[in-house]
Amino acid sequence: MSAKAIATEPRIEPATLEDLPQLVELLVALFSLEEEFAPDRQKQEHGLRLILEQPSKGRIFVLRTDQMILGMVNLLFTISTAEGGIAILMEDLIIHPQHRRQGFGGRLLRHAVAYAKRKGFKRITLLTDKISAESQAFFQEHGFKFSSMIPMRCVFADM
């Protein structure tokens, strides 16, 4: 579907379980671009379902028309001892490949920041690809700054 085929004004809403197939497709597209992750539809669906079924753990917001989901942002809730309150880890911000460069990513990001402020969160932390200057510039344009902290992981094999 082309950008011109969008018949209704896109709106931002909380995602629902009925959105799972389209959300999985967005994550597959995202993880296909990243060096550190490989797409796995079953894992992506399971992770999304965990968030959608446990609203105390996080929120997924989608930008949608009546026909399709154009993009999503995934916000996970945690507690920051440094900030002395609740914080957000922004896991995924993705716009459907056919609808990029139309301001939709900025719109979703602004919604996430406004939501965090309105709900009293202390901070949003995100990870972006080290090799993607474009992604880094996008987040900087929206008020995010580089941290002197570096991410480290310990991944456990599926059991």
Could you tell me if residue 80 is inside a domain? Answer: yes
Residue 9 sits in a domain whose CATH number is 3.40.630.30
Could you tell me if residue 18 is inside a domain? Answer: yes
Could you tell me if residue 57 is inside a domain? Answer: yes
pLDDT at position 12 over 60: yes
The count of structural domains within the chain is 1
Per the confidence metrics, is the pTM higher than 0.95?
no
Could you tell me if residue 102 is inside a domain? Answer: yes
Chain segment 145-159, per-residue pLDDT in tens: 988 888 888 888 664
Could you tell me if residue 149 is inside a domain? Answer: no
State the DSSP string of the chain: --GGG--S--EEEE--GGGHHHHHHHHHHHHHH-SS----HHHHHHHHHHHHH-TTTEEEEEEE-SS-EEEEEEEEEEEETTTTEEEEEEEEEEE-GGG-SSSHHHHHHHHHHHHHHHTT---EEE---TT-HHHHHHHHHTT----S------PPPP-
Could you tell me if residue 146 is inside a domain? Answer: no
Could you tell me if residue 156 is inside a domain? Answer: no
The average pLDDT across 89-96 equals: 92
The pLDDT score that the predictor gives to residue 7 is 60
